[in-house]
Structures are given as C-alpha cells and as structure tokens.
C-alpha cells in the first residue's frame, strides 16, 4: 500500500466517487499525540517525562526506570479533557451551513501503571494508557461537512517491559507496545448537481505493535537523566466503506464503491525524548524535557478500494516533524497551610506539525502550542500518595483555508478562535 498510486479515470462517475473520498481527508482526530495521561507530569507541563523512575508511570514513559525501587508500586490515573475549539466561517466558504459548534467537548483519559523488581538488577513494568488520537463531532449541517462531519481515532497501548541495572548508576529498558486502534470517519459529500448531502462512513478496529527503548542515568543521587525512544506503529484498517444518498444521478456513479472493502493505512509516529530531574535542594526539584516526533512519516496515508479496478490512492498531507521543550519545578512545604504538600508548575512549547496555510478541519489543533501546567501532591500515609494536576494547551487563533477536489471543489475558510485544550487529572500511587 505504501507505494500505491492514484489511478486516473476519465469517466464522470469515477470522478464523483473518488472526489467524495478524497475531499474527506481520511481524517486524523484532533489532539493526535499529547503529553497528558493523568500522571504527576500534568503539573509540570510534561517536563521530566522520562526522568521520574520513582513514579510507577515510568513503565509507560521510560522502561529503564522500573528497576529503581525497593517495592512494587502501582499508580492509577484518571483524566478529563475539555476541548475549546470554536470555528468562525468567512465569506470564502462555498458550502452553506453553521459553524459546527465545539467538536471536541469533554473526553476521558488516564491509565494504569505498575513497576517492581525481580532481582537487585532486574525490573519489570506494565502500563496501559493511550496518548495518541482524539475525537471530533461537528454539528449537523456544519459548513465543513464536505471534508469531515465526525471522526474518532483512538489508540490504547498495553506495554509490558523489562529493565536491567547494568551499573549502580545506569539502567536500560525495553518494552513491547501492543496497540489497539479504532478509526471512525463520517462526512457529507455533495449529493449531485443540485446540491444536498450524501453520506460517507467508514469504521474499523486494528491492532499494531512497536518497541520502546529507554536509558536511565543517575550519576549522583540528586541528578537523573532519562532517554526514551518509541518506534513507529503501523495500523492498517480494513472495512467496508458506506456511500449512499447521492441522488438518482450519482447513485449509479458511486454504487461500485458502496460496501467495497477498503484498506486505510496510517502510522503512529516514532518519538524521541530526553529528560532531566535535578534536585536543587531538599524541597525543590527542577525538570527539563527535549522531544522530537516524526510526523513526516505519518503524513502519507494509503487507501485501497477492493473494486474491479482495484483503485488505490496515496495522499500526502505534508506534515512535518515536531520539536518539544518543557521546563518545570516542584517545591515541597514543611510548615504552614501547605504543610506536607508539594506544588508544581511548568511551561512547554511544541512546534506545529503543519505548514502555514495547510490546516484542515479534521485536525484543527495541529498548529504550534504552549503548555502551562500546575499540580499538587501529598503523601496521604506511608506508601500512599495523591497527585492532582491541570494543563492548559493554548494555540490561539488558527486560520483555515481548505480547498476540496473536483468535480465540485468545496472550500472551507475561516478561523478556529482562541483554540485551547484543558486537561484535568488525578492519580494515586501505592506500594504493595
């Protein structure tokens, strides 16, 4: 599928059907890959992601950290995302309709993590969480329905891992990323020469796998460095595409595609993260992150239709790799109103995965973003800790000018105003 080429057809019927499929951008859901999974890094805007071996969520963020503990530890995390993504249309849009409402709204998340030691030098971890994907659901009759009406791309990973302390100050780890992906996509292509809405739907579940590698280096007790790599995961969805309500003229044109088995291939990108945890004093700790995500490998999407012509499409969205930087701190209090509590804060920047002017309605949050995190934690009793956190992801105004393909060439032009994502989360960790 990766080398498939668009087969050119001259007939109007094939142009209509292919145009309907191509105008709907084989959507990727809003949000895509986030740093928020309900764990204490909510309070540092992701800073220290791969350099917190004392946290059981290291089973997800850096498998090398699981051996750095005396007892088995478990963390359970819950999270709610509220997406504030409101569109305002401009005169350049050529499809009638409303502004679509808030397509994200509330969305749950979180995970479960466990880490322990087999021997003094061998550790194990098990994590179940997801930080890839999201969901969009625009109001009916919205102005961009030719491109996307509803889309869900949800991925959940189960990651067993092992770690080995090869030196008192150095450990390495490896994990197997077993990923389940769900893809649901709906749009309303133009039904015919007189207008009206057709219906295009696609839904499937697939499973993929990848690898996680990690290194944890602690040269002195106050300094921890972490390096992680997560490999690309290939998801190949295969289901029957539904096309109907195109009217008497074009129903014949699309009937050869309706119900045909359709393969859609996409990649979860590889990531690289370097993190630092530096204890500045007995009560104050500094956290730093540098990250890189290979979205350019996610950009090409392949589609194959099981019809007599074995029609294949290859679409390159033009995404680019992204960089990430985060800085955070945590301070503990030993007296006063906040006695036995620790407070954290952080700020992060993530570069845009789209070039200027190439934003699309299926992923309105692909622009550059700032993160601002705040958190609090307390040991409730020996071996039991509570952490609460909030992260604001701010993008501001995101302009869109999306142009569709012939024969009807729909156009969506406007602005997603004051775009923001709000993550609220909490977790508890306990020792066994």
| CATH code (residue 100) | 2.40.160.60
Most confident segment among 125-139, 187-201, 304-318: 125-139
pLDDT at 362: 87
Distances (CA, A) of 192 to 187, 251, 262, 265: 15, 9, 23, 29
pLDDT at 243: 81
Q: Reduce the DSSP state of residue 14 to 3 states and report it.
A: helix
Q: Read off the pLDDT band of 367 (50, 70, 90).
A: confident
pLDDT at 266: 82
pLDDT at 387: 98
Q: Read off the pLDDT band of 27 (50, 70, 90).
A: very low
Q: Read off the pLDDT band of 253 (50, 70, 90).
A: low
What is the chain's length? 432
Find the farthest-apart pair of alpha carbons in the chain and give their distance in angstroms, rounded: 78
Residues sharing a CB contact under 8 Å with residue 119, sequence separation 6 or more, in sequence order: none
Residue 295 has what DSSP assignment?
Answer: G
Q: Read off the pLDDT band of 7 (50, 70, 90).
A: very low
pLDDT at 371: 97
At residue 422, does pLDDT exceed 60?
yes
Find residue 221's DSSP bridge partners. Answer: none
Q: Look at 42 and 2; give whichever has higher pLDDT.
A: 42
Residues sharing a CB contact under 8 Å with residue 160, sequence separation 6 or more, in sequence order: 124, 125, 126, 175, 176, 178
In a domain? residue 2: no
In a domain? residue 389: yes
**Spatial distance between the Cα atoms of 231 and 294, rounded to a whole number of angstroms:** 10
Q: Reduce the DSSP state of residue 372 to 3 states and report it.
A: strand
In whole numbers, what is the pLDDT of the chain averaged over residues?
A: 87
Phi (first) and psi of residue 333, to 5 degrees: -115, 140
In a domain? residue 294: yes
pLDDT at 403: 87
Query: Lowest-pLDDT range, 7-11, 28-32, 207-211?
Result: 7-11
pLDDT at 31: 46
Beta strands 73-89 and 150-167 are: unpaired
**Spatial distance between the Cα atoms of 256 and 259, rounded to a whole number of angstroms:** 8
In a domain? residue 3: no
pLDDT at 312: 62
Closest CA to 408 of 187, 77, 224, 237: 187
Instruction: Return the ∠ at Cα 237 (arms to 198 and 299), rounded to 5°.
Output: 85
pLDDT at 240: 86
Question: Stretch 360-368: mean pLDDT, rounded?
Answer: 87
Query: Lowest-pLDDT range, 177-191, 232-246, 316-330?
Result: 232-246
In a domain? residue 432: no
At residue 402, does pLDDT exceed 70?
yes
Query: Lowest-pLDDT range, 85-99, 123-137, 250-264, 265-279?
Result: 250-264
The answer to whether 30 and 83 have CB atoms below 8 angstroms apart is yes
Question: Stretch 403-408: mean pLDDT, rounded?
Answer: 80
In a domain? residue 5: no
Closest CA to 25 of 353, 410, 296: 410
Residue 98 has what DSSP assignment?
Answer: B
pLDDT at 259: 77
In a domain? residue 430: no
> What is the domain extent for residue 196?
12-425
Question: Stretch 198-219: mean pLDDT, rounded?
Answer: 95
In a domain? residue 113: yes
At residue 175, does pLDDT exceed 60?
yes
pLDDT in tens, 57-70: 999 999 999 999 99
Residues sharing a CB contact under 8 Å with residue 243, sequence separation 6 or more, in sequence order: 17, 20, 198, 199, 200, 254, 255, 257, 258
Q: What's the number of domains the chain is made of?
A: 1
pLDDT at 354: 85
């Amino acid at each position: 599928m990766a080398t498939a080429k668009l087969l050119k057809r001259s007939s109007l019927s094939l142009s209509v059907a292919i145009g309907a499929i191509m105008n709907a951008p084989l959507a990727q859901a809003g949000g895509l890959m986030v740093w928020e999974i309900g764990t204490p890094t909510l309070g540092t805007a992701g800073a220290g992601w791969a350099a917190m071996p004392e946290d059981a969520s290291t089973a997800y963020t850096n498998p090398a950290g699981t051996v750095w503990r005396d007892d088995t530890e478990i963390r359970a995390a819950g999270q709610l995302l509220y997406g504030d993504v409101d569109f305002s249309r401009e005169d350049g849009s050529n499809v009638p309709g409303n502004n679509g409402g808030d397509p994200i709204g509330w969305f749950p998340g979180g995970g479960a993590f466990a880490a322990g030691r087999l021997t003094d030098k061998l550790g194990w971890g098990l994590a179940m969480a997801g930080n890839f994907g999201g969901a969009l659901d625009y109001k009916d009759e919205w102005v961009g329905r030719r491109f996307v009406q509803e889309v869900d791309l949800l991925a959940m990973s189960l990651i067993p891992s092992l770690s080995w302390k090869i030196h008192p100050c150095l450990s390495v780890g490896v994990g197997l990323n077993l990923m389940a992906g769900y893809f649901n996509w709906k749009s309303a292509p133009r039904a015919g020469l007189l207008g009206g809405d057709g219906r295009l739907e696609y839904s499937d579940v697939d499973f993929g796998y990848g690898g996680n590698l990690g290194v944890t280096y602690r040269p002195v007790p106050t300094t921890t460095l972490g390096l992680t790599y997560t490999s690309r995961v290939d998801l190949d969805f295969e289901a029957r595409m539904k096309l109907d309500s195109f009217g008497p003229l074009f129903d014949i044109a699309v009937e050869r595609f309706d119900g045909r088995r359709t393969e859609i291939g996409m990649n979860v990108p590889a990531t690289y993260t370097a993190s630092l945890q530096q204890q500045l004093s007995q009560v104050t700790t500094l956290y730093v992150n540098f990250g890189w995500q290979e979205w350019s490998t996610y950009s090409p999407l392949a589609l194959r239709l099981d019809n007599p012509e074995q029609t294949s499409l290859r679409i390159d969205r033009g995404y680019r790799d992204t960089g990430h930087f985060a800085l955070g701190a945590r301070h503990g209090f030993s007296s006063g109103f906040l006695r036995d509590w620790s407070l954290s804060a952080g700020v992060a920047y993530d570069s845009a995965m789209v070039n200027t002017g190439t934003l699309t309605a299926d992923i309105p949050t692909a622009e550059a973003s700032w993160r601002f995190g705040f958190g609090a934690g307390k040991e409730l009793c020996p071996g039991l800790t509570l952490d609460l956190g909030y992260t604001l992801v701010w993008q501001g105004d995101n302009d869109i000018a999306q142009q569709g393909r012939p024969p009807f060439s729909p156009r969506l032009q406007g602005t997603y105003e004051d775009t923001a994502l709000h993550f609220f989360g909490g977790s508890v960790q306990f020792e066994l």
